[in-house]
Amino acid sequence: MTILTEIAAIIGDKFVLTGQDAAPFATDWTGAYTATPRAVLRPADTGEVAAILKIAHRTATPVVPVSGHTGLTGGTLADDALMLSVDRLNTITAIDVKGRTATVGAGVILSSLHAAADEHDLIFPLTFGARGSAMIGGVLSTNAGGSNVLKYGNTRELCLGLEVVTADGRIMNLMSALHKDNSGLNLRQLMIGAEGTLGIITAAVMKLQPKPRAYATAMVAVQNLDDALMLLNILQDDTGGAVEAFEYMPRNYIDRHLALASGAEPPFATAYDVNIMVEVGATSQRDAAPDAHGQIPVVAALEDILGRMMEDGQVLDAVIAQNEAQRRKMWERREDAGEIAFQGGPFVNTDVAVPLDKISQFEAAVTPKIKAIDPDATELIVAHLGDGNIHHTTYVSRNDPDIMGRMVEAVEDVVQSLGGTFSAEHGIGVSKLDTMRRRKDPVALDAMRAVKNALDPKGILNPGKVIPD
């Protein structure tokens, strides 16, 4: 009996995909990472996942977990490995309205959880452009961020409990809804962000939040990033920390968006160098109920702050969304970033973070380094300014691996000099392994290898990812 025959007897022949049936899983969303999996397995539940891993462990067969296949770092590259899809683990088991939690399978699509929470006047606040295909297992495995980290935190801050299948096929039940649990090592947090190298996440308990009753959303033009951060701090102080998104789109991003996105419109009648999308959410009736003149208090508060800053010259221009259609248009401008960045010639894409007050220094320092390597290179930046996360893309003049490698190191040099990190929210996968070797503390790497060896001694779980040899 072959491995695939043995697995098919457990999960069913039609859920063991090979050949052309497996072809859609061979390439990720970026198109940059292509491999030929030995087979794609689609188990129906945690028990079947455990059975597959028992077989894989016994035969020392590599297993690569995959969720929505929307990653950007090659984290699901699976050449001659068993690719284990969690897409059938797609049940929302429970929405606890009083406890404000959702118990979900790893295959639940992010937008489906959004819709389920909305039915109870709640939200699951994690959001980004790929929400219509990304799955809970994947966002947990990469500790995804997105546009609302400023208020709600990364995925790890939104997770209370996990169910994980270990490398040898045992089921580890960490499915607690507790906000406090100090009973030993925090294995839940260890699994989040591990990209399937320590265990396969099959279910989770996620935090829900009260649904804002009203939003105040605006595009704001400022002179420089220092003024932008001043705006952020004033808004946070005046709203009691209600700023949910604070997104930076410089002039070249706006220009590229207008050129490439269907139906795109400029944010202002005049073009500006520094453009910010800000959103404030109001959960209390006091801030959301229209007054006698029909004005919503949270919107009025944003108008007042922006008006005062315009008088002081700290804000150059501002447009506040007057309805949901205008709000969605502003969000589309930001959420088109992935599609916009990946159009064009050869490029180097980085996902870095620096302290908030160092973003302008990053911009000033990185351009000369890029131009010194390739004078004809161009850059594109879009950033989650509220949490310091910068998506920096360099379009090189020719597809030369040496030039592209030097570009990555140039960005790393700047980030390291500013006390930042080379990986903010996209994970490591295979694309950042060389960077891990160069930049990660060697003692930290040794500790990671020790954990990996302890939990996966045969090295079968997503081998060759996250932790360099």
**CATH code of the domain covering residue 276:** 3.30.70.2190
Do 177 and 68 have their domain in common?
Answer: no
Distance from CA of residue 198 to its chain's centroid? 20
CA distances from 253 to 34, 107, 152 (A): 29, 33, 26
Which residues are paired to 427 by β-bridges? none
71 and 99 housed in the same domain: no
Residue 452 falls within a domain, yes or no?
no
Distance CA 211, CA 120 (A): 9
Q: Among residues 332, 297, 323, 125, which one has the least CA distance to residue 211?
A: 125
Torsions phi, psi for 207 (to 5 deg):
-75, 140
Q: Is 222 exposed, middle or buried (0-12, 13-18, 19+ CB in 10 A)?
A: buried
Buried (b) or exposed (e) across 121-131, using 16+ Cβ within 10 A? ebbbbbbbbbb
Adjacency order of strands within the sheet including 101-105: 92-96, 101-105, 200-207, 159-165, 171-174
* Domain tally, the chain: 4
- Both 317 and 220 in one domain: the answer is yes
Positive or negative, the CA dihedral 375, 378, 384, 389 is negative
Amino acid at 381: I
Amino acid letter for position 314: Q
pLDDT at 424: 95
pLDDT at 1: 65
328 and 236 belong to one structural domain: yes
Rounded Cα gap, residues 184 and 157, in angstroms: 19
Per-residue pLDDT at 27: 85
Angstrom distances, CA of residue 166 to CA of 57, 126, 200: 10, 26, 7
**Does residue 448 sit within a domain?**
no
Judge if 143 and 227 occupy the same domain.
Answer: no
- Cα 253 from chain centroid? 20
Distance CA 442, CA 352 (A): 20
Give the whole-angstrom CA distance, residue 328 versus residue 69: 25
Burial call 237-265: b when 16+ CB within 10 Å, e when fewer:
eebeebbbbbbbbbeebbebbeeebeebe
The closest of 216, 222, 276, 210 to 243, measured between CA atoms, is 216
Indicate which CATH number applies to the domain containing 16: 3.30.43.10
Q: Could you tell me if 71 and 142 are in contact, meaning their C-beta atoms sit under 8 angstroms apart?
A: yes
Provide, for the chain, the percentages of residues in helix, strand and coil under a 3-state DSSP scheme, each rounded to the nearest 5: 40, 25, 40
Terminal CA-to-CA distance of the chain, rounded, Å? 33
Q: SS3 string of 266-321?
A: CCCCCCCCEEEEEEEEECCHHHHCCCCCCCCHHHHHHHHHHHHHHHCCCEEEEEEC
Separation of alpha carbons 424 and 421, rounded Å:
7
Please check whether residues 322 and 220 belong to one and the same domain.
yes
Whether residue 192 is contained in a domain is answered as yes
Other beta carbons within 10 Å of 372? 11
Residues 350 and 326 in one domain: no
State whether 350 and 331 are in the same domain. Answer: no
Of 210, 239, 261, which residue constitutes the final position of a domain? Answer: 210
The structure tokens listed for 363 are 């911009």
CATH of the domain at 392: 3.30.70.2740
Domain end among 176, 210, 244: 210
Do residue 152 and residue 54 come from a single domain? no
One domain for residues 220 and 330: yes
Q: What is the CATH number of the domain that holds 166?
A: 3.30.465.10
Say whether both 108 and 63 belong to one domain: no
Domain span at residue 75 reads 3-85
Question: Given this model, what pLDDT does residue 294 score?
Answer: 83
What's the CA gap between 184 and 190, in Å, rounded?
A: 12
Mean pLDDT for back-to-back runs of 10 residues, the chain (469 residues): 94 96 87 90 98 98 94 91 98 98 98 98 94 96 95 97 98 97 96 98 98 97 96 95 97 96 95 98 93 90 95 96 96 93 88 96 97 96 96 94 95 97 95 96 98 98 96
108, part of any domain: yes
Q: Are 197 and 465 in contact (CB under 8 A)?
A: yes
**Is there a domain that residue 96 lies in?**
yes
Please report whether residue 34 resides in a domain.
yes
Domain's final residue, options 288, 306, 335: 335
8 A C-beta contact, residue 388 and residue 359: yes
Residue with tokens 């959420």: 335
Q: Are residues 175 and 233 in the same domain?
A: no
Residue 167 domain flag: yes
**390 to 67, 164, 250, 314, 341: CA distances (angstroms):** 25, 32, 12, 23, 13
SS3 at position 68: coil
Collapsing DSSP to helix, strand or coil, 74 comes out as coil
Query: Is residue 174 a part of any domain in this protein?
Result: yes
